[in-house]
C-alpha cells in the first residue's frame, strides 16, 4: 500500500522556506515532558514533502536521545516556531535522504559523516502538529461512542471515551492529547479533570475519562 497523506503533512511553502533558510534548531522536550530543551542547530533536508534531520554524533547525541525518548518538542526555523513530533526513520527512505544531503550540502566538508552509518542510524522525521489535527482530536472525543454515568453528586457527570489510534501516529496523538487535556481543564467550564489511560498490552487502545 502507498503512503497516505494526512493532516500532519507540511505546507509546501513552509517546507521550502525551512529548507532554504537552513537555520533549523530542534528543542525536544526535557525529562519533565513540559519544558523544551536548549535549541540545537542541525542540517535538514526535505524529501517527498517531509522534513528529515540527522544527528552528527549519531544515536549518542543528546538531542537525539531526548527526541527519541520524548517523541515530541519544538523547532525554530525560517522565522517560525512549530510544535512537532519526532519519528525515528530507517529503511529505503535513507537512500533518498542521502541523495538530498549530497545535493544540498555538496560543498561542505561535513557531508561525508552526515551520510555515514553513524549519522544515518540517527535519522529523524519531523512532523508538525497542526490545528486541524487538534480539531480532529476534539471531534473524535465528542463523536466516539461513550458511556455517560452520573456520579454520586447528581451535578457531576463522568464521560468515558474508548479510542484506538494508528500505531504509526501514537506519539503524534499523545502530543495533541496532552495539549488538549491541559487546555480543556484550564478553560472549559465544568471540566474538573481529564485522564488518558493506555492499555499496557495494547498501548494504541486509549480510554479517556
Residue ranges of the domains in the chain? 12-128, 131-208
pLDDT above 60 (res 96): yes
Rounded CA-CA distance 58/192 in Å is 44
- Give residue-wise pLDDT tens across range 170-192: 777 777 777 777 776 766 666 67
DSSP 81-142: EEEEEEEE--STHHHHHHHHHHHHSTT-TTHHHHTSHHHHTTEEEEEE--HHHHHHHHHHHH
pLDDT at res. 130: 65
pLDDT above 70 (res 140): no
Give the chain's mean pLDDT: 80
Q: Tell me which CATH code domain 131-208 carries.
A: 3.30.70.100
pLDDT at res. 141: 52
Q: In what order do the strands lie in the sheet with 40-41?
A: 40-41, 25-28, 72-77, 80-88, 123-128, 50-54, 44-47
**Residue 69 exposure: Cα atoms within 13 Å on the Cβ side:** 16
pLDDT at res. 2: 37
Q: Under CATH, what is the fold of the domain 12-128?
A: Pnp Oxidase; Chain A (2.30.110)
The band of 122, judged by pLDDT with boundaries at 50, 70 and 90, is very high
Return the higher-pLDDT residue of 103 and 179. Answer: 103
**Which of the residue ranges 3-17, 61-75, 184-198 has the most confident prediction, judged by mean pLDDT?**
61-75
Give, in degrees to the nearest 5, the angle at Cα 109 between 105 and 111: 45
- 3-class DSSP string for 131-191: HHHHHHHHHHHHHCCEEEEECCCCCCEEEEEEEECCHHHHHHHHHHHHHHHHHHHHHCCCC
- Give residue-wise pLDDT tens across range 47-62: 999 999 999 999 999 9
Average pLDDT of 97-119? 97
pLDDT at res. 132: 45
pTM for this predicted structure:
0.64
pLDDT at res. 144: 42
73, 67 Cβ separation under 8 angstroms: yes
Rounded CA-CA distance 51/11 in Å is 11
- Give residue-wise pLDDT tens across range 123-137: 999 998 864 455 455
Amino acid at each position: 500500500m502507498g503512503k497516505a497523506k494526512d493532516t500532519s503533512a507540511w505546507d509546501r511553502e513552509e517546507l521550502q522556506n525551512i529548507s532554504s533558510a537552513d537555520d533549523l534548531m530542534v528543542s525536544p522536550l526535557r525529562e519533565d515532558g513540559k519544558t523544551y530543551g536548549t535549541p540545537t542547530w542541525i542540517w535538514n533536508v526535505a524529501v517527498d514533502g517531509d522534513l528529515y534531520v540527522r544527528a552528527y554524533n549519531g544515536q549518542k547525541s543528546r538531542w537525539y536521545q531526548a527526541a527519541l525518548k520524548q517523541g515530541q518538542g519544538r523547532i525554530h526555523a525560517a522565522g517560525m516556531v512549530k510544535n512537532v513530533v519526532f519519528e525515528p526513520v530507517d529503511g529505503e527512505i535513507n537512500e533518498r535522504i542521502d541523495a538530498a544531503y549530497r545535493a544540498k550540502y555538496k560543498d561542505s566538508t561535513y557531508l561525508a559523516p552526515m551520510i555515514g552509518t553513524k549519522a544515518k542510524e540517527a535519522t529523524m522525521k519531523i512532523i508538525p502538529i497542526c490545528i486541524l489535527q487538534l480539531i480532529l482530536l476534539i471531534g473524535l472525543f465528542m463523536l466516539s461512542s461513550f458511556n455517560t454515568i452520573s456520579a454520586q453528586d447528581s451535578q457531576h457527570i463522568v464521560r468515558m471515551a474508548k479510542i484506538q489510534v494508528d500505531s504509526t501516529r501514537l506519539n503524534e496523538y499523545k502530543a495533541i492529547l496532552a495539549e488538549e487535556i491541559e487546555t480543556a481543564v484550564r478553560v472549559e467550564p465544568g471540566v474538573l479533570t481529564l485522564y488518558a489511560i493506555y492499555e499496557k498490552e495494547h498501548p494504541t487502545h486509549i480510554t479517556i475519562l
